[in-house]
């Protein structure tokens, strides 16, 4: 299965206020393995960035002046995600902004959820941990995922962190991370070698000792069964099983 873990950063929280996407970050997984393929673009929103959003991601409008606009990278983005399952934390937020950008395209655009299946890890986390905090930082702490580099939110960094969280939430992450040397500090060949199982250790057959109860222990056992039988009105499971030969 091909999955794309996706995150965005925006100029603000409300689409209705004209806010736009300024960063898209995606990482690819195939069969629950990070492949090393990513999609990462900063975008020129042609508008100011709200102070609240700036405090979260630290991306200024001046930083984005020379970046492309969404229509310039749209086809490359679609080519990267088409046919995959998107994994997004609080998917309604990111999909809402992506669909708003797509709607501005001139060539009869399709909504993102018609191109891809979508899995919302926030919904999954709420099912697994009802009544608890389930933002990305809380999940990192709960599952032991390192987010120490997350001084500011960033789309690609958050997508990589979310990939680790998702794998931990859904059964654990393989140590094999092909092509992801810049993030892990390991060369691809080293990663493959580390993931290759060594020879299986053979243990000699050893007969397990059988320890039988002595007379004193048997008498204490019978006395306990008698008390159970009296208190249960004769419904003593152990004696029933004994009489049946089980």
The domain ranges of the chain are 2-195, 215-244
The answer to whether the CB of 189 falls within 8 A of the CB of 178 is no
The answer to whether the CB of 39 falls within 8 A of the CB of 24 is yes
Q: Across all residues in the chain, what is the average pLDDT?
A: 83
The answer to whether the CB of 22 falls within 8 A of the CB of 59 is yes
Helix axes 91-103, 70-81, angle to 10 degrees: 130
| Per-residue confidence (pLDDT) for residue 88, from 0 to 100 | 98
Tokens of 45: 């929103």
| Per-residue confidence (pLDDT) for residue 134, from 0 to 100 | 97
Residue ranges in the chain modelled with pLDDT below 50: 173-200, 244-246
For the CA atoms of 139, 145, 147, 153, what is the dihedral angle to 10 degrees?
A: -50
| Per-residue confidence (pLDDT) for residue 46, from 0 to 100 | 97
The answer to whether the Cα torsion of 75, 79, 83, 86 is positive or negative is negative
Q: Which positions are catalytic? A: 153
| Per-residue confidence (pLDDT) for residue 13, from 0 to 100 | 95
In 134-214, alpha helices (H): 136-143, 155-169, 181-184, 188-195
Pairing between β-strand 85-88 and β-strand 33-42 as defined by DSSP bridges? unpaired
| Per-residue confidence (pLDDT) for residue 225, from 0 to 100 | 77
Q: How far apart are the first and last CA of the chain?
A: 47
CA dist., res. 194 & res. 188, Å (int): 10
- Cα separation values, 7 from 120, 151, 172, Å: 12, 16, 21
pLDDT digits (tens, 9 = 90+) for 27-75: 999 999 999 999 999 999 999 999 999 999 999 999 999 999 999 999 9
Using alpha carbons, select from 57, 52, 65, 70 the residue that is nearest to residue 12.
52
**Topology (CATH) of 2-195:** Nucleotidyltransferase; domain 5 (3.30.420)
Q: Other CB atoms closer than 10 Å to residue 121's CB: what's the count?
A: 23
| Per-residue confidence (pLDDT) for residue 206, from 0 to 100 | 55
């Amino acid at each position: 299965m091909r999955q794309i873990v996706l995150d965005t950063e925006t100029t603000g929280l409300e689409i209705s206020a004209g806010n736009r996407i300024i960063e898209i970050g995606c990482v690819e997984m195939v069969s629950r393995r990070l492949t090393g393929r990513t999609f990462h673009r900063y975008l020129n929103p042609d508008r100011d960035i709200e102070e609240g959003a700036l405090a979260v991601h630290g991306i200024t409008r001046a930083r984005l002046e020379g970046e492309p606009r969404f229509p310039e990278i749209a086809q490359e983005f679609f080519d990267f995600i088409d046919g995959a399952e998107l994994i997004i934390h609080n998917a309604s937020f990111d999909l809402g902004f992506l669909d708003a950008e797509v709607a501005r395209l001139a060539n009869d655009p399709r909504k993102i959820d018609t191109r891809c299946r979508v899995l919302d890890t926030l919904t999954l986390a709420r099912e697994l941990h009802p009544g608890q905090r389930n933002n990305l930082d809380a999940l990192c702490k709960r599952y032991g995922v390192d987010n120490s580099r997350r001084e500011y939110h960033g789309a690609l960094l958050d997508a990589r962190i979310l990939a680790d969280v998702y794998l931990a939430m859904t059964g654990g992450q393989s140590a094999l991370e092909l092509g992801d040397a810049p993030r892990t500090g390991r060369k691809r060949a080293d990663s493959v070698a580390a993931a290759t199982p060594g020879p299986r250790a053979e243990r000699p057959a050893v007969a397990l000792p059988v320890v039988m109860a002595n007379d004193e222990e048997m008498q204490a056992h019978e006395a306990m069964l008698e008390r159970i039988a009296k208190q249960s009105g004769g419904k003593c499971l152990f004696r029933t099983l004994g009489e049946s030969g089980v």
